[in-house]
């Protein structure tokens, strides 16, 4: 099983393995002062062959949040068991998963949200800036 993509957004809902994303691609968060709590919704999609799924095939998922210096702010890990079915067994099955990353930003800069599934890592940057929201280039 592998991570196809991770999309930061303002809100995500999964129903019947289809995602509804609001604010997809949100990567910059504005705060009034530091330290500041930051909450990011993430839409994740995994893919696997049929024989990699089911209760006999647990997968290890580890999520890390790194600060502006690359230090680990938080880490969560556990086993997941994914179910999925395709019309043909030789097709990849895809699994959508909504998650939330929460952390306290101590300073302005780029924080990394990393997900590792069975040793394969995917990461997305989240920029935290102080002040009122501004349009890019202002």
pLDDT digits (tens, 9 = 90+) for 18-30: 999 999 999 999 9
Q: Which residue has the higher pLDDT, 80 or 137?
A: 80
Q: Which residue has the higher pLDDT, 50 or 64?
A: 64
Q: Are 85 and 50 in contact (CB under 8 A)?
A: yes
Percent of the chain with pLDDT over 70: 96
Q: What is the mean pLDDT of residues 91-103?
A: 91
pLDDT tops 90 at residue 111: yes
The alpha carbon torsion through 84, 88, 91, 93 (nearest 10 deg) reads -10
For residue 85, what pLDDT is reported?
A: 66
Q: What are the C-alpha distances in Å from 108 to residues 20, 52, 74, 75, 100?
A: 30, 41, 18, 21, 21
For residue 133, what pLDDT is reported?
A: 83
Rounded-to-5 percentages of helix, strand, coil across the chain = 0, 60, 35
pLDDT digits (tens, 9 = 90+) for 56-81: 999 999 999 999 999 999 999 999 88
């Amino acid at each position: 099983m592998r991570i196809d993509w991770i999309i930061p957004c303002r809100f995500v809902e999964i129903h019947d393995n289809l995602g509804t994303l609001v604010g997809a691609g949100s990567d910059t968060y504005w705060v009034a002062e530091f330290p500041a709590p930051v909450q990011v919704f993430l839409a994740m999609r995994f893919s696997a062959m049929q024989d990699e799924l089911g209760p006999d095939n647990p997968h290890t998922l580890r999520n890390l949040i790194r600060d502006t210096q690359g230090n680990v702010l938080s880490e969560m890990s556990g086993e997941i068991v994914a179910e999925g079915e395709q019309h043909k067994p030789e097709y990849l099955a895809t699994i959508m998963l909504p998650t939330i990353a929460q952390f306290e930003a101590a300073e302005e800069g780029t924080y990394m949200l990393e997900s590792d599934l069975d040793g394969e890592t995917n990461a997305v940057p989240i920029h935290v800036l102080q002040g009122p929201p501004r349009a890019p280039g202002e």
